Chains A and B, each alone.
Chain A
Amino acid sequence: MFERFTKDARAVVVGAQEQARELGHETIGTEHTLLSLLAGENDTVRVALAGAGVDQASVRAAIIRHVGDRSEAGSVADRDAEDAAALKAIGIDLEAVRAAIEENFGAGALRLPRPAPKKRGIFGRFSSVTTGHRPFSPRNKKVLELSLREAIRLKHNFIAPEHIMLGLLREGQGLAMLILTEFDVDFGELRTTLTGALKSPAAG
């Protein structure tokens, strides 16, 4: 099936992996595919979504709101905030402790130790943290299969980024769709726009 993907569509699939890696997420979900579609060279999808205020930055922010930023800087800040909340519950003000210590030892003196990333078995050092390899979520795989289905439906012998977006819409359940729902995207209109773009002679 992958051999039917256009160069742009392949870039979307590869880009989704990159987006997941940048956010520190372990699995490539539909949300990363959506981000990749918005970052791609082919701008039909980007233009079609721009009207609803959906762009790369706003989707990235929405993903972080839903799932969190697991990149290194983000995760240190997150965990510190979690620790601060847990300590507050037993009457300890982490910020006050930190402020008192920084008065004597300088800014950033108190660093809370972080657990090392979990390693699995003897191949732990080849884990995704080092290799950057991440699996596609089952739902995201389904989206790619549905993009093929969309291409067949439209009698195309190739799969373009527009087909992937149509696959996302057809699957309908992932985080990408939840985010698009929050932006009040008109799915019927989007489907019509993408299908029209694919039928125009410029496409392909």
Chain B
Amino acid sequence: MTEATDLAAAASSADPRAGLRAVVALRRLLEGLERLQVANARAKGWSWQEIADALEVTRQGVHKKHAKLMPMLDPREG
């Protein structure tokens, strides 16, 4: 079997173990990307409201999740 067909087989796998493991990995990738990009936006002077709008979530939600992790990027409360 070629690598391409291997991948296709895995992607369409009905095995919950493989499927759920992919969900976890995706979630971690998403969280990593979100932290990085929120920090980047704050460093560029975006307000929490602007970031929340871009992420399509509430301002409170994004502030609660990220403000503590990046206090140094929090010169003015948004």
Residues of A within 8 A of B (CB): 82-84, 86-92, 94, 97, 101, 105, 109-113
Q: How far is the CA of A82 from the CA of B13 in the complex (A)?
A: 17
Interchain CB contact under 8 A, A89 and B7 = yes
- Chain A residues with Cβ below 8 Å from B25 are 82-84, 86-87, 94
Q: List 25 A-B contacts (CB under 8 A).
A: A82-B21, A83-B24, A83-B25, A83-B28, A86-B21, A86-B24, A86-B25, A87-B25, A88-B7, A89-B7, A89-B10, A89-B11, A89-B13, A89-B18, A90-B11, A91-B11, A101-B36, A105-B36, A109-B36, A110-B32, A111-B32, A112-B28, A113-B28, A113-B31, A113-B35
Given contacts A86-B18, A112-B28, A113-B31, 16 further A-B pairs with CB under 8 A are A82-B21, A83-B24, A83-B28, A84-B25, A86-B25, A88-B10, A89-B10, A89-B13, A89-B22, A90-B10, A92-B26, A101-B33, A105-B40, A110-B36, A111-B32, A113-B28
Nearest-neighbour CB distance to chain A for B66, whole angstroms, equals: 12
Q: A89-B18, A90-B22 are in contact. Are A97 and B29 (CB under 8 A)?
A: yes
Residues of A within 8 A of B29 (CB): 83, 87, 92, 94, 97, 112
CB neighbours of A90 from chain B (8 A): 10-11, 22, 26
The B52-72 residues at the A interface (CB cut-off 8 A) are none
Complex Cα distance A57/B24, Å? 35
A203 → chain B closest CB, angstroms: 53
In angstroms, how far is the closest chain A Cβ from the Cβ of B32? 5
Could you tell me the distance in whole angstroms from the C-beta of A26 to the nearest C-beta in chain B? 21
Q: Using an 8 Å CB-CB cutoff, how does the interface string of B1-16 with A read, 1 for contact, 0 for none?
A: 0000001001101000
In the complex, what's the smallest C-beta–C-beta distance from A94 to chain B, in angstroms?
7
